[in-house]
Structure formats: C-alpha cells, structure tokens
Amino acid sequence: MALTCLAVLGTPAHAQDAEPVRFERDGLKLELAALSHDQVRAFFLARGFSQKDTEHIAVTACLFRSAIGSAFAEAGAPAVKVALDEWQAMPADGKPSAPKVREYWENVWKTREVPADAATAFYWALFPTEQVFAPTDYNWGFLTFGLPPGTSFNLMVAWTTDDKAYHTTIEGLQCAK
Amino acid sequence: MRQVKRAPLMSRRALLAGAGASLALQTGAATAFAAGRMLMQTVPGKPPGPEFALPDLDGNEVRFSEHRGRVVFVNFWATWCPPCRTEIPSMERAWQNLRDSGVAMLAIHVGGGGDRIWEFLAEFNVTFPVLIDQSSAVSKAWQTIGLPTTYIADSEGRKVLRAIGGREWDDPDLIAKILAVRG
C-alpha cells in the first residue's frame, strides 16, 4: 500500500477561513472545506428540516463540503474507487472513526421522524458511501465526521486506483466552532 | 408515441421574476473538476433504462418509454447541487443543438423542490422538460449514486453512455458522441 502524508500543514482547513484543501495524486482528485454553522443552518432549513433537526446537524455532524473524483482525463485510464468507510478521522485526543455515511443518517432521520423530503435531500447532499470513478468523473457532496464543534483532527483518505490501494493523511482539519 | 408536454415556463417565470436569490448553498463548487477535458463512459452491457412515470412541472405524467425510437439524454440533478447548477446552462445550449436531431432531453429533479425549481429554471432560461422524482426511487432504480449524473439512452431505451459529475454539455466532442448513439 502506498503511504503518503499530505503537505497541507501550512494551510490548515479551518471552518472560519473556509479555504479548501485540494490535492491530486495517484489517480485521485479531492477538494475539501469545512462549512460554518450558519452555512449548515441555511442549507438544511431550506431543505425542509426543522430548526431543532437543523441544530442537531450543526452541533453533531462536523460537516465539510467535498468534491472527489478521478484525476485522469484520458479514455481508458484506470478506475478510481473511493469507500468512505475506509477513511479515518483522527482527533488528537479521541478515538479514530470513519465518516458518518448516508446509511447512518437514514436511521437518525427515521428515529427523529423528519419529513421525507428533508431526509431525501440529506441523503443526496452527502457524498456517496462508495463509488467508482471513470476518467473525468467526480462527485460533489457533504462529508460528516460526527465530531464535536471545534474539534481539530487529521483525516486519513484511502482509495484504490487500478485495484492498487493508496492512502494519505490531511492534517490540521477543524470542525466549525 | 406521445409528445412530451413542455411546461409553460414563461408565464411562471414572470410570476417568479425577482423572487430572490438562489437558495442553493454557495460553496465555491469544485471549479477544478469542471475544467479540462470531459468524457462520457460506455455503460457495460448496455442495460435497459428502467421504466418510469414521473410528473413534469405541470403535473403531467411523462414515461420513459414514450421516447422509444429516440436517443434520450437523462440527467439527474437538484437545484441545491452546485455542479448541477453549473452544468444546466450548457445543457440548455446542447438542447438547442440536439432537439431537432432525434434526441430527447429529460432533466429529473431528485427530491421535492416546489417553487425553487421554477425559480431556478427561470434564472437559467431552461426550455427542456423537467420531471420530479420526489422520493428519488427512480434515481436509485437508474443506479444513480450522486448528483449530477447523466445517462444517454439509445433508441431502444438502453443506457449506453454515462457521465458522473458536471460537464459542459455543449462541448462539440460530447455533442458528437451523443449524436453518434443514433447509429
């Protein structure tokens, strides 16, 4: 397995400055930025979530926007596979955990009895749990890490290109405060 | 074959004029991904596109099978999806190129959207048919995983090409590839 550590230390991705982290390596192209609580509230209130459920997202989700896909632009280039359950959010003083994916949130919304339209929008607004990208394919979506507001963490990003496994670590991410 | 009804966009546009800025989250959407060369992939095995019956914006039911005999551009999108918003104007330009060439275009909005959809279409002067997949069951049946995703179905309703993520649909290479599906 190829192991790398991403050199973004000089530009930590804090929600406050919302400067995206970008990298392109071994077939993967990625862009990632934390969203502020106000951005989260505005988006999900407009999708039909109640104030209470919107607050639940803002306080528990630690939400980042992302665009992730294939860095290849030539037809016939290898497929790139991303599976979020292979990623690890690693807070300095906490247990590593995988991102909270669509299936996790579907159960949350069933328990909280949120309107169907809101739950549907949430599902499609999240980055897919697992996807294979052909050349020039990519997806947009939110990532949720389930960490408390303000938590600083490193993120281990894993993917496969042409069935070969790669990973890298993005250091210095921070959930919105 | 029944003609797909076109929604009376202009009248509603007038009603919605000045209705306010888009409610979509402005997140500086992935500009790096939209740049550069754009491809479509061949769908392995050319599986049939699942039949659907979805309402258009006036509530008229539109079936996928009504378009048998034509190449069909099927796009899954949502008003709040940044790359969807980015690609819609190029879809309209492509539609102006393709509409008289035996190609149908169906933009399927995933989830409910209400007047936000009208507002969005007015903003971008969209004239191609838009359908609503409120529960997203059709989107899932088509094996759509993220938004936007576009399929090109051949005249027999088989999915032959796919693009995951936004494209500039009036790109001459993409237009040529769509037209080539006519055979």
Q: Could you please report the per-residue DSSP string of A14-51?
A: -TTT-PPEEEEETTEEEEEEE--HHHHHHHHHTTT--H
Whether residues B28 and A39 touch (CB distance < 8 A) is answered with no
Whether B97 contacts chain A with CB within 8 A: no
CA atoms within 13 A on the CB side of A94: 16
pLDDT at B22 over 70: no
Q: What is d(CA A98, CA A101) in angstroms, rounded to the nearest whole number?
A: 9
Greatest alpha-carbon span in chain B: 47
Is B130 within the bounds of a domain? yes
* Residues comprising chain B, all counted: 183
Strands (E), B48-100: 53-55, 61-63, 71-77
Torsion of CA B94, B98, B103, B106, to 10 degrees: 30
Residue B88 φ then ψ, to 5°: -60, -45
Structure-block tokens of residue A61? 């989700």
CA distance B79 to B71: 25
- The confidence score (pLDDT) of residue B25 equals 46
What's the one-letter identity of residue A155? L
Task: For A147-172, give the DSSP string.
Answer: --TT-EEEEEEEEEETTEEEEEEEEE
Taking contacts as CB-CB distances below 8 angstroms, the residues of chain A near B82 are 140
In this prediction the pTM is 0.88
Domain count, chain B: 1
User: Please, which residues bridge with residue A31 across strands?
Assistant: A22, A67
Measure the CA angle with vertex B170, ends B80 and B38; round to 5°. 80
- What's the complex ipTM? 0.90
> Per the domain annotation, does B14 fall within a domain?
no
**Residue B150: left (phi > 0), alpha (psi -120 to 50), or beta?**
beta
Question: Which burial class, exposed, middle or buried, applies to B18 when counting CB atoms under 10 A from its CB (0-12, 13-18, 19+)?
Answer: exposed
- Domain range for B116 is 39-180
Identify whether the C-beta of residue A133 lies closer than 8 Å to the C-beta of residue A69.
yes
For the cut 90, the answer to whether the pLDDT of residue B2 exceeds it is: no
What single-letter DSSP state applies at residue B50? P
**Contact B29/A at CB under 8 A:** yes
Taking CB atoms and an 8 Å cut-off, how many pairs form between chains A and B? Answer: 103
Question: Does the residue B97 lie in any domain?
Answer: yes
Local structure of residue B125 (DSSP, 8 states) = T
Indicate if the pLDDT at residue B19 is higher than 80: no
B45 in any annotated domain: yes
Cα A153 to Cα A132: distance, rounded to the nearest angstrom: 26
- Those of residues 113-132 in A touching chain B at CB distance below 8 A are 116-117, 120-121, 123-125, 127-128, 131
Q: Residue B29: phi, psi to the nearest 5?
A: -65, 105
Give the pLDDT of residue B87: 95
The predicted-structure confidence for B81-91, as pLDDT tens digits, reads as follows 999 999 999 99
Whether A32 contacts chain B with CB within 8 A: no
Strand partners, A25: A28
**If we measure between CA atoms, which residue out of A146, A164, A163 comes closest to residue A155?**
A146
Mutate to test the interface with B, among A74, A140, A142, A143 (most CBs of B within 10 A): A140
Asked if the Cβ–Cβ distance from B165 to A125 is below 8 Å, we say no
pLDDT at residue A10 in the model: 36
Q: State the pLDDT at residue B97.
A: 95
The CATH number of the domain where B96 resides is what?
3.40.30.10
Does B65 fall in a domain? yes
**Residue B57: inside a domain:** yes
Q: To the nearest whole percent, how much of chain B has pLDDT over 70?
A: 81
Each of the 177 residues of chain A gets a pLDDT tens digit; together they read: 444 444 443 333 444 455 799 999 999 999 999 999 999 999 999 999 999 999 999 999 999 999 999 999 999 999 999 999 999 999 998 899 999 999 999 999 999 999 999 999 999 999 999 999 999 999 999 999 999 999 999 999 999 999 999 999 999 999 999
CB–CB of B103/B10 below 8 Å? no
Helix, strand, coil percentages, rounded to 5, for chain B: 30, 20, 45
Which of A35, A46, A136 has the CB atom closest to B37's CB atom?
A136
Give per-residue pLDDT as tens, B87-137.
999 999 999 999 999 999 999 999 987 788 998 899 889 999 999 999 999
**Residue A69, token pair as written in the block:** 């896909």
For position B40, what pLDDT does the model report? 97
Q: Where are the alpha helices (DSSP H) in A46-167?
A: 51-60, 102-112, 116-125
Among A60-69, B29-38, B46-55, the minimum mean pLDDT is found in B29-38
Q: Please check whether residue B19 lies inside any domain of the structure.
A: no
Q: Is residue B160 part of a domain?
A: yes
Three-class secondary structure of residue B80 per DSSP: coil
